[in-house]
Amino acid sequence: MSENKSRNAASPARSTDAVARGWTKWLWLAAFLALAFLVGCVQIDDPDIWWHLRTGQLIYQRGEIPCTDWFTYTNPDSPWIDLHWGFQLVAAAVWSLGGAPALVVFKSLLGAITFAIAFSASRRDWPAWQGVACWLPSLIIYEGRNLVRPEMFTFLFLAAELAIVFHARRSPRLLWLLPVIQVLWINMHGLFVLGLIIWVCFLAGEFIGGWTQSVEASSRWRLNRLAGQVQPNDDLKSRWGLWLLVTVLMAAATLLNPYGVDGALFPVTLFRRIQGADHPFYTQFSAEFRGFPEFLETYGVAGLLGNLTTLSLVVLFALGLLSFVPLVARRKLRWFRALVFAAFAYLAWQASRNSVLFALVGGVVLRANLAECIAPSPPRSERRFHLGPVALAAVLGFLFIGVPLDLLTVHRAAEIPRLFGLGEVPGVFAHGAAEFLGRDGMPRRCYALDEGAAAVYIFHNGPERKVFADARLEVNTRRTLERYLEIERRLAMSDPRLIESLTEGIAPAPDSRVEVPALLISLQYLVRNPPLAQGIARLKTYRTVYVDDVAMVLIEERQAERLKLPRAE
């Protein structure tokens, strides 16, 4: 009787403890996702959003997806494989609802959903606070590169495919979602190829794991089969049959884009251009294609360790690598995790733009490995003090305070500061100058320094008015970009042949006159290039007709006289 009474008394206590642990788990997850949303609330500072927005608006208006370039006068017939068209439609729709603040909120929500999905790729019985601790380095890496760009959908789809593959053995029906995700992915961003890499790593891991399975496991399977519990050969055949069908569907999904085979092969074409022999040339226009070797060459080891993003990458890589050691010692290595970890670490090494991709993969791998290496903690009722959860709560508290105050930004040398808030960073984008150039009578062509100014010009004036070149490396030929740099050098030297270079290839008007393009110059660009500023000040063929705190506009002297535009100070 006394034993039964004690059991009945203990049962409500255990039930209460279980409920408390359940609530604690959800509190940890809610705090982590709230922080993920918070770090996404960063003012827009990436200029590419402007040509993306204009493209989305034009797709809505015209009812067609671009096949040739719409925005430059130097590449009028250049093919344009715009795999970002789905993102551009979404971005234009969100912009119409609330402008830049709406875009930032949407991006932040998408980031929180991405981490929620990635967080689900783990064992359910592992303590949530330990999972949050594993994901903190990844969140800090994401905080350094959370831009309103097509890649934010790549992060979402990457997390979804990682979670699906993680649960593939227990829930094989989830695999039917992979081809659907690939269809969405290829129509949002060119990095859809990462989904194929994940799937190939999964198949390779299953093949290697089956080939290297131990004799003990094989014997146990045979015993179970004799006992009528399982028939491994039939099970293996059915699994590989499903995987083969999913493979075929994923390959077919890559063709479901407006450009067919050309769209499916586009990442290969762009990769050869950016990472091939022309890599040093193209990195002049996009620093995000520089990898760890270039960073170390420029800033050294001290810069590597002094930058919060690169330091977090090193920490995540080291922890992820170490998490495989106990599994190897116990002969429980998960080959898929090892392969996907190595593949995405290589991508992050090659280009800084891939850092968040590795952060997502590294977070999944680290948490999954540690969950198998570390036994779950005993119930809280059996312990009085929990150092780990208390320390983690303190770190989260610091981040909740530090992120809105931009405390992390000061530890990101060599990066554009990510400023907390909604909308766009003030005093960065040349809206006033671009609108000025959209007035009646202004030249219908423009040479813009830098590419950010070109994107803003496109947003306000494209496609009726066109730029010399912009940031779209998939459209501008190397010849065009070489001319772009040559014109910049002639500006710095006040070269009288400048107009000749700017008007090359422009057809004369009916009155036999050739329109001379306007110059749109970012003042920040001039600050970084004093010789260019000095050369522009000595120009005699152009007149400065507009200046504000962000940019200046120069018009050819005869045009300025005809339009009666006074010289601006």
pLDDT digits (tens, 9 = 90+) for 74-116: 887 788 899 999 999 999 999 999 999 999 999 999 999 999 9
Residue 461 confidence class, pLDDT cut points 50, 70, 90: very high
CB 142 within 8 A of CB 135: no
pLDDT band with cut points at 50, 70 and 90 for residue 214: very low
pLDDT at 517 over 80: yes
Q: What is the distance between the alpha carbons of residues 322 and 255, in angstroms, rounded to a whole number?
A: 39
Q: Lowest mean pLDDT: which of 263-267, 303-307, 359-363, 436-440?
A: 303-307
Strand partners, 446: 467, 518
pLDDT band for position 279 (50/70/90)? low
Give the pLDDT score at 414: 47
* Residue 99: per-residue pLDDT: 92
As given in the structure block, the two tokens for residue 185 are: 């992915």
Q: How many CB atoms lie within 10 A of CB 93?
A: 14
Q: Which residues pair with 554 in a beta bridge?
A: 519, 544
Q: Spell out the domain ranges in the chain.
A: 2-40+120-402, 43-105+427-569
State how beta strands 466-467 and 542-547 pair: unpaired
* pTM greater than the 0.75 cutoff: yes
CA distances from 236 to 113, 212, 229, 492 (A): 34, 15, 15, 68
Cβ atoms < 10 Å from Cβ of 17: 14
What tokens appear for 272 in the block?
């050869």
pLDDT level of residue 236 (50, 70, 90 thresholds) = low
Confidence band (pLDDT; 50, 70, 90) for 375?
A: low
Average pLDDT, integer, range 53-68: 93
**In the predicted model, is pLDDT for residue 372 greater than 60?**
yes
Per-residue confidence (pLDDT) for residue 505, from 0 to 100: 77
Q: Assign 404 a pLDDT band (cuts: 50, 70, 90).
A: confident
How many residues can be counted in the chain? 569
What's the pLDDT score for residue 385? 52
Report residue 234 CA to chain centroid gap.
42
Q: Residue 434's pLDDT is what?
A: 93
Question: Do 514 and 508 contact (CB within 8 A), yes or no?
Answer: yes
> What H or E segment, with its residue span, contains residue 155?
helix 151-166
- φ and ψ of 546, to 5 deg: -155, 135
Mean pLDDT, all residues of the chain: 82
* Residue 230 phi, psi dihedral angles, 5° rounding: -160, 150
**Is the CA virtual torsion 116, 122, 124, 130 positive or negative?**
negative
β pairing state of 551-556 and 542-547:
antiparallel
Is residue 407 helix, strand or coil? coil
